[in-house]
Amino acid sequence: MHILCAVLLLPFVILTHSSSALNKVWEEWQIEHRKVYDNKTEMEFRRAVWEKNMMLVLRHNQEASAGNHSFTMGLNHLSDMTAEEVNEKLKAGGVG
Ligand SMILES: *[C@@H]1O[C@H](CO)[C@@H](O)[C@H](O)[C@H]1NC(C)=O
Ligand SMILES: *[C@@H]1O[C@H](CO)[C@@H](O)[C@H](O)[C@H]1NC(C)=O
């Protein structure tokens, strides 16, 4: 089980060990989705959430390439939000 997890997390490990590559993805994602954060605290929090979501996407896609899922995932404009926040947004009736 631990070996399986290690294998699935490999792309994430490579990315985080090359933090300049991850920073570039983060910056490009912010530009693409026109994200502006109020302050450093907020930005660091969003970056942490984004990284976590990014890891889930990578792991999902790794599983998809092994045939476990019929679709792959990508980062989108909700990638800096927690699952709770996305649910709130859905209930409020407006995603996007
Ligand atoms: C930073 O921005 C967030 C979100 O708008 C806000 O809740 C928080 O109070 C701000 N913190 C500071 C130190 O200004
Ligand atoms: C992916 O599917 C294979 C074959 O059905 C299965 O053996 C494996 O445990 C699955 N892996 C994950 C991470 O779900």
Contact assessment for residue 60 and residue 73, using Cβ atoms and an 8 Å cutoff: yes
Residue 8 has pLDDT above 70, yes or no: no
> What is the pLDDT of the chain when averaged over all its residues?
83
Residue 79 phi, psi (nearest 5) = -70, -10
Domain ranges for the chain: 2-92
Q: What is the pLDDT of residue 9?
A: 52
Q: What is the pLDDT of residues 44-79, one digit of tens each?
A: 999 999 999 999 999 999 999 999 999 999 999 999
Q: Could you tell me the two tokens for 23? A: 């920073």
Check residues 39 and 3 and name the one with the higher pLDDT. 39
What class, spelled out in words, does domain 2-92 have in CATH? mainly alpha
0.75 exceeded by pTM: no
What's the pLDDT score for residue 6?
Answer: 46
Indicate the burial class of 17 (C-beta count within 10 angstroms; 0-12, 13-18, 19 or more): exposed
From ligand 2's centre to the CA of 63, what distance in Å?
8
User: Ligand 1: residues whose CB is within 6 Å?
Assistant: 38-39, 41-42
Q: Confirm or reject: Cβ of 70 under 6 Å from ligand 2.
A: no
